[in-house]
Amino acid sequence: MALEKRTAPALWRHILDAGHPRPAYLEEQPDGWREVSWDEAGRRVDALARALLARGVRRGDAVAVLARTRLEWILLDWAIMSIGAVVVGLYPTNTSAECEYILAHSESVLAFVEDDEQRAKLAPVFSGPIVAFDELAELERSAGGGEPEPVGEDDLATLIYTSGTTGPPKGCMLTHKNIVAAALGVRTNLEDGSDTVLLFLPLAHSFARIVHHSAAYHLSTIALVSDVARLPEALQRTQPTILPAVPRVYEKIHANVVGEIERSSGVKRAIGRWALRVGATKSPTSLQGRIADALVFKKVRERLGGHLRVGVSGAAPLGLDVLEFFHSLNMLVIEGYGLTETASSLTVNDVDDYKFGTVGRAVEGSRIRIADDGEILVKSDTVFAGYFKDPEATAAAFTEDGFFRTGDVGEIDADGFVKITDRKKDLIITAGGKNIAPQNLENALKASRFISQALVVGDRRPYVTALITLDPAEVNGSGRDPEQLVQEIVDDVNRERVRVEQIKRFTILPRDFTQEDGELTPTLKLRRRVVHEHFGDEIEKLYA
C-alpha cells in the first residue's frame, strides 16, 4: 500500500494500519526487556500529540529533545512531527553552552529531557518549559482533544544541527518529503516484518533517525539501547538481525577478535590465524570456510547474538580486512553514504548487489555527478531545504543548476558504484603541491588493533606526519615497546604508498581523542580543527 502523501504523519499512519503481531519496540528495563506493541506505540504517540497541542505547540514550532536513545525519544519524534511541529535533537554529550546556542538558534518553545541531570543543563540557559521523561505519563493522561493543522510535504519536519567539525553548528532543515524519501530509500536491506534492528546510535543524529523510520516502515522490531556499554549484553538478549553502527564499532569488534587470537596459546593462535586467512579468501560455504566457521567464527557470531545478517555502516570507510572478517561470519556489513544535509541517505550497497570498498549506488530518486575537481554533486528528494537562518550558506551549498555540493571527493565506477576519497576540505596539499587524502592513511593506521585513533598532518607542510593514540590493553598485552610497535605499523602502511604520501614522522599522544574534549563528534568523526588546537605544540615538534 502506497503512502497517501510523503509526510511523517502519513508514514506513521501507514505503519499502524499495516499492523503486525511482532513487537514494535524492545525497551530496556532494569529487570529485562519489555515488548511494546504497535497499538501501544500508536496510542501513546496520539496522546502526546494531543498533549502538545493542549500546551499551545503549533505547526512550525520547534520542540527540543535532550536524551539518550530511549522509547520516549522515539514516541516524541513521531508525536512532534505528526502535528507539524519541528523536532530539534540535542546530544546528551552537548554542553550547556552548546544546548543554549541550539535552543536559541532554533527558537525552541519547549524542551523534553531524559532526567534531572539534563534538566539542570538546560534550566540556566532556556526560559521555556522543560518536561522530564518521568512526567510524560501524566502528560499523556491529561491530553486534550485538539486537531492538528494539515502537514505538507515541504513543511519543515526537523532541524538537525551539523557536528560543527569546522565551526559553529548549522541547522539543516529537513522537510517531511526528505524524511520519507530517506526512510524508503534503504528498503531493499530490510525484510518486511521479520527483522530485529538494534539501535544504540544517538537519535539527535540523522543516521539513527532515518534508520528508525525505515525500520518502522518495514515493521521491524526495534531494540533500543541507551548505553553503548551495554551493547554486548543487548546483542545477546535481543538477538538482532540488523546492526546499524559507526565504523569504529565494527573496527573494535574485529580488533578484539584478532587480539584474542594473538594472545592465545601456540596451537589456538595458529588455528585462529588460519581461520582469518580462510575467511578473507574463501566462501563461507566452502569446505575450508565451514571448518573455519566451526573452529572460530561460530563462537564470534554467537557472541554477537547469533542472528546478525546485515551491518549498516556510514560516516567513514571501513578497511577491506574488516569487511572480509564480518563476511566470514555470514554477516554482510554494507556501507552507505549521506550527510546531515541529505538526511543521511544518498547511496547504499544492497545485500544482493554490493561492492566492498564502495558506498553503493544512488538511492532511488537521486542523481549524482562528479565535478571537474572531483567533488560529488547530487540532486535528490533527500536533499535538505537549506540552512536555518543562513541564506548565504544555503546559496553557497548549491550549484547554479541546483545540485547540492557535498564537500566530498569521489568517483563513480562503470557499474554506478560510488567511492569516496575524502572530504574536500580535509585534503592535504603538501608544500610540493601534491594532494593527499588523510582519511586513507588514518584508516590504514587504525586497521591495527594497537592503534585507537590517528590524525594525519601535512597541509602546506614539507612532509606528512601523524598524531597517534594507542589502545592501552592491546599494547600492554603485547609486551612490546610502543614506539617500536608503532614504527613497524607506520612502515607497513608506507610500503603501500608512493614516497610523497608516506608518513615521515609520528608522535604517540598521552591520551585518546574524546567527545568530552570536543575532539570527536557524537558519531566519532575527528574534529580536525580542535585536535590541531589541542595538540599544536606536538605538531610543531614534528616539523622542528
One domain for residues 328 and 388: yes
- Has residue 292 been placed in a domain? yes
**How confident is the model at residue 402, as a pLDDT?**
95
**How confident is the model at residue 345, as a pLDDT?**
85
How many domains, the chain?
3
**How confident is the model at residue 187, as a pLDDT?**
56
**How confident is the model at residue 300, as a pLDDT?**
84
- Has residue 55 been placed in a domain? yes
Phi/psi for 377 (5° steps) reads -115, 145
One domain for residues 376 and 500: no
- Has residue 13 been placed in a domain? no
Residue that is last in its domain, among 205, 240, 275: 240
- Has residue 176 been placed in a domain? no
Closest of 453, 437, 444 to residue 500, by C-alpha: 437
One domain for residues 453 and 526: yes
Residue 335 near residue 317 (C-beta atoms within 8 A): yes
Residue 19 near residue 38 (C-beta atoms within 8 A): yes
Burial class (CB in 10 A: 0-12, 13-18, 19+), 168: exposed
Residue that is last in its domain, among 172, 207, 240: 240
One domain for residues 353 and 415: yes
The residues, any chain, with a CB within 8 Å of residue 64's CB and separated by 6 or more, are 88, 89, 90, 102, 103, 106, 108, 110, 111, 112
- Has residue 186 been placed in a domain? no
Distance CA 263, CA 326 (A): 21
- Has residue 473 been placed in a domain? yes
Find the helix packing angle between 71-82 and 8-18, rounded to 10°: 120
Distance CA 305, CA 253 (A): 13
One domain for residues 236 and 252: no
**How confident is the model at residue 251, as a pLDDT?**
86
Kindly give the pairing relationship between strand 451-457 and strand 464-470. antiparallel
- Has residue 16 been placed in a domain? no
Amino acid identity, position 541: K
One domain for residues 63 and 116: yes
Distance CA 215, CA 201 (A): 14
Amino acid identity, position 354: Y
CATH at 205: 3.40.50.12780
Residue that is last in its domain, among 240, 274, 306: 240
**How confident is the model at residue 223, as a pLDDT?**
98
Distance CA 196, CA 25 (A): 9
One domain for residues 230 and 250: no
One domain for residues 347 and 491: no
Q: How far is CA 199 from CA 28, 38, 181, 242, 279, in A?
A: 12, 17, 20, 9, 27
One domain for residues 358 and 253: yes
One domain for residues 394 and 266: yes
Residue numbers of the domain that contains 249: 245-424
Q: C-alpha dihedral over 508, 509, 513, 518, to 10 degrees?
A: -140
pLDDT, averaged per 10 consecutive residues of the chain (544 residues), comes to 83 90 93 94 96 94 98 98 98 91 97 96 96 93 81 97 73 97 76 88 93 93 93 94 90 85 82 78 69 79 90 82 85 90 90 88 91 93 96 95 93 93 77 77 89 90 92 89 94 88 93 90 83 92 89
Closest of 158, 87, 176 to residue 382, by C-alpha: 176
One domain for residues 226 and 270: no
CATH at 436: 3.30.300.30
Distance CA 210, CA 245 (A): 13
**How confident is the model at residue 283, as a pLDDT?**
63
One domain for residues 117 and 215: yes
Distance CA 68, CA 231 (A): 14
- Has residue 103 been placed in a domain? yes
Kindly give the pairing relationship between strand 108-113 and strand 130-132. parallel
